[in-house]
Amino acid sequence: MNSKVVVFLFYFLLFSFSSCRSEVKENSEPREDYIEISEMRESRETQDSNSDNTPKSKPLVFFPKSIVPAKPGNLVDFAWVQDGKEVKFSEFAKGKIVLLNFWGTWCPPCRREIPDLIEVHNESEGKDFVVVGITLERDVENAETIVKDFVNQKGIRYINIIDKDQSIARAYGGINAVPTTFIIDKKGKIVETLVGARGKQDFIDAINRARK
C-alpha cells in the first residue's frame, strides 16, 4: 500500500476516536474521548443506527423555557412543560445529587457512554440522585425528531432537554466539548466537571464524592 495512503488512514482513524484539547476547566483528569463543540458544523458523523429490543415508550424529551441565570458554579434553573404542567429543574432536583450530561446524538463518545448512563439512572430510582441529559444538536430544525428517535431506540428513560439555541450551555459558562458532565450536589453547587466519555463506575464514584 502506498505510504501516503497509510499515513492518511492513520490520521483519519486517530481523528475519528479522539479530538483536540478543550479549554473547559475540569475538576478531574482530562480525557481525549470528546469532541469540541466547534466541530458541530464542520463535519457530519454517521449516527449509530443499531436498534435494540427495548420496549418503546413516550420519550421524556422537552424544550427548555424560563432559563434563570445563576452565579458561576451553581445550578442554573430552567423549566419545561411535562404532561401539561411546568416543571422547574430546581424543584425536580431538590434534595438530590444531579448528574447533568451535555451531549449530542451526532457525537460518538457521547453515544458510547449512553448505556452506562442508562444503568446509572436505572439504579438511581428511589435514591438521592438523578440523571438529566442536555442535548446539543447540529441539525437544529430536526432536533426534536432526531433526539426522540434516539431516546426510543436506546431505551433512555431519564429526562433530556433539547438545548436548541445553546442557552442552557451558555448559562453554565459555555460548553466547549461534548460529552461534558456536571455533578451537582444537594445544595445546588457544581462540585465536579467531567469532560470526555466516562464509564459507569466513574459516574458512581463522582456521585459518591458529592455525598461527602
Is 52 a residue whose pLDDT tops 90?
Answer: no
CA distance 171 to 67: 8
Q: What is the model's pLDDT at position 170?
A: 94
Summarised one tens digit per residue, pLDDT across range 4-51 is 444 444 444 433 443 333 333 344 444 558 788 766 654 444 444 444
DSSP labels, 10-25: HHHHHHHH--------
Q: Specify the number of domains making up the chain.
A: 1
What are the backbone dihedrals phi and psi of residue 82, each rounded to the nearest 5 degrees, phi first? -130, 120
Q: Is residue 104 part of a domain?
A: yes
| pLDDT at 118 (0 to 100) | 97
Q: Is residue 11 part of a domain?
A: no
pLDDT of 17-28, one tens digit each?
A: 433 333 333 444
Examine residue 119 and state whether it is found in any structural domain, yes or no: yes
pLDDT-derived band of residue 141, with 50, 70 and 90 as boundaries?
A: very high
**CATH number, domain containing residue 138:** 3.40.30.10
Q: For 125-140, how does the pLDDT look when each residue is reduced to its tens digit (9 = 90+)?
A: 788 999 999 999 999 9
Contact 182, 97 (CB under 8 A): no
Residue-wise burial string across 181-212, b where 16 or more C-beta atoms lie within 10 A, e elsewhere: bbbbbeebebbbbbbbbbeeebbbebbeebee
Q: Is the peptide bond before 179 cis (omega within 30 degrees of 0)?
A: yes
Residue 73 lies in a domain: yes
Q: pLDDT digit string (tens) for 101-125?
A: 999 999 999 999 999 999 999 998 7
Q: Where are the alpha helices (DSSP H) in the chain?
A: 3-17, 89-92, 108-124, 143-154, 167-171, 200-211
The residue with cell 466519555 is 197
What's the confidence (pLDDT) of residue 209? 96
Range of the domain at 119: 18-211
